[in-house]
Chain A
Amino acid sequence: DAMVIQNPRYQVTQFGKPVTLSCSQTLNHNVMYWYQQKSSQAPKLLFHYYDKDFNNEADTPDNFQSRRPNTSFCFLDIRSPGLGDAAMYLCATSRGVGGNIQYFGAGTRLSVL
């Protein structure tokens, strides 16, 4: 049973057209993360929520926003996707302090035309 679910698995958007990726979890974890991963690169943390507290990485472009309306759901909004935003986007969760293991979803592969 999938515990971290990402939808859609594949997303195609046009240059400049806003897109939203979603993530849900059944683990009741405090922390939810969004990573961007490009081919042969390490997953790059974009931001995370600890409960409702939002934490943005310093080098995350303003084009990327996130929402966490409740414990179970987290969204990644890309306001004006560029060609360089084509990547795999991974959502992960963890318990937070005292729980170091992160549990990942299967990812959303974003293509920008």
Chain B
Amino acid sequence: DQQVKQNSPSLSVQEGRISILNCDYTNSMFDYFLWYKKYPAEGPTFLISISSIKDKNEDGRFTVFLNKSAKHLSLHIVPSQPGDSAVYFCAGGAGAGSYQLTFGKGTKLSVIP
């Protein structure tokens, strides 16, 4: 049972344009979400998070949007840069006392110069 779904295995975007990575979840108990970025031969690194009490969180070129009613979140990267080419994982966590995460399968983003 996949509680976190990233339905697009890959995405190609032109440099300077917007990248939109999508994530859907089924677990209503999730109350915070994180995005991780992973380069080849490296471990995932934390990128940005959002709590369920918010619908938007922004950090520089990265913005995460949360639509709780649709159980959907998205990561926007504007403008996209070649260095953003990586695999992006969405993860959900449940409950104030919880510290475990459930990950999606990831989306590979390629930013074309």
Give the residue of A96, A97, A103, A105 whose beta carbon is less than 8 angstroms from that of B46. A103
Give A48 to B99 CA distance when docked, in angstroms: 11
Give the residue of A31, A43, A48, A107 whose beta carbon is less than 8 angstroms from that of B89. A43
Q: In the complex where A42-B106, A100-B34 touch, is A106 in contact with B42 (Cβ < 8 A)?
A: yes
Give A90 to B42 CA distance when docked, in angstroms: 10
Query: Using Cβ atoms and an 8 Å threshold, which residues of chain A touch B28?
Result: none
Do B45 and A31 have beta carbons less than 8 Å apart? no
Most buried by A among B32, B49, B97, B103: B103
Binding site for A on B (CB under 8 A): 2, 4, 9, 32, 34, 36, 41-46, 49, 89, 93, 97-106
Binding site for B on A (CB under 8 A): 4, 6, 31, 33, 40-43, 45, 48, 50, 90, 92, 94-97, 99-107
